Structure 1
Amino acid sequence: MRIAVFSDSHDHIANLRRAVLRANREEAELLIHCGDLISPFMLPYLEQFNGPVHAIYGNNAGDRHLIAGRCAASTGKITHHGDHGILVAASWRIAIEHYPKWARSLAASGDFDLVCCGHSHVFQAEWLGRCLLLNPGELLGKDAPPTFALLDTADGSVRQISVGEQLSLDDRDL
């Protein structure tokens, strides 16, 4: 299974759209967003992903009430876990946590095969024993080019995928 991992999109519509389209082209089957999506108006762009989406809030949570309500009404495509998430996919036990410090503790616990985080806006893929600690970097494109991570659970390989230079909101190539 291929899992796309996003984080820190911070309301940048064009980069999120571009990342979803790229994840679909890469045949990702599951998408995880590690927080700081921020506004409910970003959710329709996540719904364009071809498979299920799992998301958490982060430290820039936006309107929690609207996000939770719209995710619940998204025909089951988007599961919003609140502040932290736990799921199983392709027999991998997965935790989603926004903060790297807490994610590292979860990864070191031995309870998970994959722990995804964000917040630092810095790409990191590190094995802690049997657990992969994965930070996809930022989709915002503020401190670095916008990227996400693509994990192949068949062999545990991770690729950092660039979604291109930061785009204007009226980019016609999307």
Structure 2
Amino acid sequence: MKIGLLSDTHKKIEYSQTVIDHLVAEGAEFLIHCGDIVKEEMLQQLKKSGKRYLAVYGNNDPHLAEVHNRYNLVQEPHYFKLAGTKFKLMHLPFYMSADAEVILFGHTHTFECDFKNGALFLNPGEACARSKPVSECAMLEVREEAFIVTQYSRRVEETQFHARHFTFEREEQ
């Protein structure tokens, strides 16, 4: 299963739409937003993508509680199963124990991808291009034998995303 990941969109609706369109074009079957959504329009973009999705509140999202019931929006840390894999989703990197197979987070505005203690720790970076002039997202392909992570980055003045790939062997269950 291919899972499209984005985080820290903040107020950059045009960048978030570009990221969603790219992830869908690359085959994402499910979309996950790792927080700091900021604008309801971002949630509307996820909903209109035609893909199943999940989004977690970030530290800049308390006002979105007013529209909570309209979207698939959860509190952190949120545990769920997808593609036979246990996930933990959060925005703030405070719950970093390896108590799931995949730990997804945001907040730092920096792409991170590491496999330790039998778990994949993954931050898709910032979609908003606030800390640097680069919009980022990631694709996580869950296979029985491995996790394949693709980091996508695009300078804001460019139209093409550049890809880097990482493969991590899964531990036997």
Q: Same fold (TM over 0.5)?
A: yes
Distance apart, 1:63 and its partner CA: 1.6
Whichever structure has more strand as a proportion of its residues is 2
Distance apart, 1:44 and its partner CA: 1.5
Given that 1:23 and 1:49 are in contact with CA atoms closer than 8 Å, whether structure 2 keeps it comes out as: no
Task: Give the structure 2 partner of residue 65 of structure 1.
Answer: 65
Given that 1:118 and 1:136 are in contact with CA atoms closer than 8 Å, whether structure 2 keeps it comes out as: yes
Q: Deviations over 1:23-82 (max 9, x none)?
A: 1101111111110001212222112323211111111015233330321xxxxxxx2112
Q: 1:164 to 1:45 in 2, by over 3 A?
A: farther
Higher RCO structure, 1 or 2 (CA under 8 Å, sep 6+)? 1
Given that 1:40 and 1:63 are in contact with CA atoms closer than 8 Å, whether structure 2 keeps it comes out as: no
Equivalent residue in structure 1 for 2:139, among 141, 147, 150 = 150
> Matches of 2:157 and 2:36 in 1, distance apart?
17
Task: Give the structure 1 partner of residue 150 of structure 2.
Answer: 159
TM normalised by structure 1 equals 0.82
Quick one: which amino acid aligns to residue 41 of structure 1?
E
Q: Give the number of aligned pairs.
A: 155
> Matches of 2:104 and 2:9 in 1, distance apart?
15
> Matches of 1:151 and 1:85 in 2, distance apart?
18
Map residues 91-170 of structure 1 onto 2, 5 A cutoff.
91-102=84-95, 104-105=96-97, 107=98, 111-144=99-132, 145-154=134-143, 155-165=146-156
Does residue 24 (structure 1) correspond to residue 24 (structure 2)? The answer is yes
TM normalised by structure 2 equals 0.83
Quick one: which amino acid aligns to residue 132 of structure 1?
L
SS in structure 1 opposite 2:48? coil
SS in structure 2 opposite 1:65? helix
Given that 2:4 and 2:24 are in contact with CA atoms closer than 8 Å, whether structure 1 keeps it comes out as: no
Gaps of 5+ in 2: 159-173
SS in structure 2 opposite 1:88? strand
Q: 1:40 to 1:139 in 2, by over 3 A?
A: same
Gaps of 5+ in 1: 72-78, 168-174
Quick one: which amino acid aligns to residue 120 of structure 1?
T
Moved more, 155-164 or 18-27: 155-164
Quick one: which amino acid aligns to residue 116 of structure 1?
L
> Matches of 1:31 and 1:41 in 2, distance apart?
16
Q: 1:45 to 1:166 in 2, by over 3 A?
A: farther
Quick one: which amino acid aligns to residue 64 of structure 1?
L
